[in-house]
């Protein structure tokens, strides 16, 4: 599949100024994408739940350029303020996808973006931010050329484009749950874009909870991008990719059967392996906080004594995500408030969500 399309250029400067807006959620991977190759291609398939409360809102405004300047003209406001670091990052990204959207060179662009969660909350915002931007770009293509009318085609391209900005972002395009990466179990899956995957899984997972416990708000010392890069010199890399494929197969089986115990074992295994890979990388590093460990231990003790199906996962940071089915929400939240809240500075009660939403012009 190749979205390179030199015909997507406008032939008149009489296009009225306009804007497109999307709200797009973050997602939490249960099978982790960690290690990539080529142009943002994953070393193993991943599976994620789409979240609901943790999202970005992005507006892309455009006016046609009058001069002959062929570069990307971009203004970028984050949370209402100019942000040079983000602007440079996004500008580089837009330049890298002008083979897909050549019309981007023909406009003065202004992007306004904000998150539902505090920026420094230690929550990865690249998945929600990049997916919201990719959706805006596809909406702009639709407005200018009438292409991508079909919802599936629209989402597939948005997922492809989001992937080029941040791998995990490609999974945020769909309601409830998504798969990214070639694998023998799910024929339609691809390394190039994510696909929706919820009709096949047991309804117990359709309303799963994910409470994000924030133990540390500071910015990570090592970015995910650098972390992926360090997998290249990691002596365990090939074994890790093999293990991820095997766990992916087991997780798909558990999701279909509604087997919470297997789900939990694999999910927690993935979280710990992700951090083990960081500790075992050529330049070893640690992103866990003492309170990450305190929470994990309390949670596992509570599960052992209560028998409740409550589990944790982690992304590439210190903040545990607490996962549990809706049927035990009351007990689980009581336990979190009573026994885990002392270890965190903040928390977000989130759950599996309905995916991105196009916003009306404001
Ligand atoms: C641990 O998608 O943030 O959250 O593609 O370099 O932007 P880039 O990396 P990113 O990595 C996500 C890593 C992860 C696991 C996951 O979401 O699958």
Tell which one of 162, 228, 287 to mutate to probe ligand 1, the residue whose CB is within 8 A of the most ligand atoms: 228
- Does residue 289 register a pLDDT over 90? yes
CA diameter of the chain: 70
User: Is the same domain home to 235 and 195?
Assistant: no
Long-range contacts of 304-310 (CB under 8 A, 24+ apart): 306/331, 306/335, 308/332, 308/335, 309/260, 309/261, 309/264, 310/335
User: Is the same domain home to 228 and 171?
Assistant: no
Output the pTM of the full model.
0.96
**How far is ligand 1, taken at its centre, from the CA of residue 328, in Å?**
30
User: Is the same domain home to 214 and 330?
Assistant: yes
Q: Which atom of ligand 1 is nearest to the CA of 225?
A: 6
Residue closest via CA to ligand 1's atom 12 equals: 168
Q: Which atom of ligand 1 is nearest to the CA of 32?
A: 18
Q: Is residue 4 in a domain? A: no
Host domain of residue 247: 204-348
- Does residue 80 register a pLDDT over 90? yes
User: Is the same domain home to 155 and 170?
Assistant: yes
User: Is the same domain home to 116 and 261?
Assistant: no
Domain ends where: 199, 225, 256? 199
**How far is ligand 1, taken at its centre, from the CA of residue 61, in Å?**
28
- Does residue 65 register a pLDDT over 80? yes
The answer to whether residues 106 and 89 touch, using CB atoms and an 8 Å cutoff, is no
Please name the residues in contact with 26: beta carbons below 8 A apart, sequence gap of 6 or more. 51, 54, 55, 56, 123, 124, 125, 127, 128, 172
User: Is the same domain home to 247 and 136?
Assistant: no
User: Is the same domain home to 218 and 326?
Assistant: yes
Output the ligand 1 site: residues, CB below 6 A.
29, 32-34, 40, 46, 124, 126, 166-168, 224-225, 228, 274, 315-316
Q: Which atom of ligand 1 is nearest to the CA of 130?
A: 7
Which tens digits make up the pLDDT trace of 135-189? Answer: 999 999 999 999 999 999 999 999 999 999 999 999 999 999 999 999 999 999 9
- Does residue 361 register a pLDDT over 70? no
**How far is ligand 1, taken at its centre, from the CA of residue 9, in Å?**
32
Cβ of 43: how many Cβ atoms within 10 Å? 21
Q: Which atom of ligand 1 is nearest to the CA of 126?
A: 3
Q: What is the CATH number of the domain that holds 42?
A: 3.30.230.10
**How far is ligand 1, taken at its centre, from the CA of residue 175, in Å?**
19
Average pLDDT, the chain: 95
Q: How many domains does the chain have?
A: 2
Confidence grade of residue 219 (pLDDT, cut at 50, 70, 90):
confident
Domain ends where: 184, 199, 214? 199
User: Is the same domain home to 146 and 278?
Assistant: no
Q: Is residue 96 in a domain? A: yes
User: Is the same domain home to 265 and 338?
Assistant: yes
Q: Which atom of ligand 1 is nearest to the CA of 124?
A: 3
**How far is ligand 1, taken at its centre, from the CA of residue 167, in Å?**
6
User: Is the same domain home to 189 and 227?
Assistant: no
Summarize the confidence of residues 333-358 as an average pLDDT. Answer: 97
**How far is ligand 1, taken at its centre, from the CA of residue 318, in Å?**
15
**How far is ligand 1, taken at its centre, from the CA of residue 33, in Å?**
6
User: Is the same domain home to 272 and 327?
Assistant: yes
pLDDT above 90 as % of the chain: 88
**How far is ligand 1, taken at its centre, from the CA of residue 182, in Å?**
17
Residue closest via CA to ligand 1's atom 8 equals: 166
Q: Which atom of ligand 1 is nearest to the CA of 40?
A: 5
User: Is the same domain home to 194 and 236?
Assistant: no
Q: What is the CATH number of the domain that holds 317?
A: 3.30.70.890
Q: Is residue 234 in a domain? A: yes
Task: State the Cα–Cα distance between residues 313 and 81, nearest whole angstrom.
Answer: 33
**How far is ligand 1, taken at its centre, from the CA of residue 224, in Å?**
6
Task: State the Cα–Cα distance between residues 154 and 193, nearest whole angstrom.
Answer: 12
The answer to whether residues 285 and 222 touch, using CB atoms and an 8 Å cutoff, is yes
Q: Is residue 40 in a domain? A: yes
Q: Is residue 5 in a domain? A: no
Tell which one of 224, 225, 314, 315 to mutate to probe ligand 1, the residue whose CB is within 8 A of the most ligand atoms: 224
Summarize the confidence of residues 80-103 as an average pLDDT. Answer: 95
Domain ends where: 146, 176, 199? 199
Q: Which atom of ligand 1 is nearest to the CA of 169?
A: 2
DSSP structure class, residue 103? G
Which tens digits make up the pLDDT trace of 244-266? Answer: 999 999 999 999 999 999 999 99
Which residue carries 């405004």 as its tokens?
Answer: 61
């Amino acid at each position: 599949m190749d979205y390179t399309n030199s015909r997507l250029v406008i032939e008149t400067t009489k296009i009225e100024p306009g804007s497109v807006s999307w709200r797009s959620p973050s997602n939490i991977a249960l099978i982790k994408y960690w290690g990539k190759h080529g142009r943002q291609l994953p070393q193993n398939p991943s599976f994620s739940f789409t979240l609901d409360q943790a999202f970005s809102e992005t507006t892309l405004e455009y006016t046609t350029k009058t001069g002959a300047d062929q570069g990307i003209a971009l203004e970028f406001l984050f949370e209402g303020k100019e942000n040079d670091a983000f602007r440079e990052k996004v500008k580089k990204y837009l330049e890298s996808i002008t083979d897909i959207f050549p019309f981007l060179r023909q406009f003065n662009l202004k992007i306004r973006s904000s998150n539902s969660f505090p920026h420094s909350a230690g929550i990865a915002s690249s998945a929600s931010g990049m997916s919201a931007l990719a959706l805006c770009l596809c909406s702009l293509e639709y407005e200018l050329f009438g292409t991508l009318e079909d919802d599936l085609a629209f989402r597939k391209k948005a997922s492809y484009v989001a992937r080029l900005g941040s791998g995990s972002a490609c999974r945020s395009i769909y309601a409830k749950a998504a798969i990214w990466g070639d694998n023998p179990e799910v024929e339609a899956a691809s390394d190039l874009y994510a696909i929706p995957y919820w009709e096949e899984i047991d309804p117990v997972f359709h309303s799963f909870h994910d409470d994000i416990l924030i133990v540390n708000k500071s910015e990570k010392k090592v970015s995910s991008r650098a972390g992926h890069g360090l997998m290249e010199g990691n002596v365990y890399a090939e074994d890790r990719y093999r293990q991820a494929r095997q766990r992916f197969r087991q997780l798909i089986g558990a999701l279909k059967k509604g087997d919470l115990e297997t789900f939990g074992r694999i999910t927690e295994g993935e979280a710990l392996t992700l951090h083990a890979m960081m500790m075992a990388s050529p330049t070893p590093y640690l992103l866990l906080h003492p309170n990450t460990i305190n929470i994990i231990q309390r949670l596992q003790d509570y599960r052992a004594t209560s028998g409740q199906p409550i589990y944790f996962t982690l992304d590439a940071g210190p903040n545990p995500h607490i996962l549990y089915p809706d049927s035990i929400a009351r007990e689980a939240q009581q336990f979190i408030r009573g026994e885990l809240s002392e270890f965190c500075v903040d928390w977000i009660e989130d759950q599996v969500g309905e995916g991105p939403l196009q916003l009306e012009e404001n």
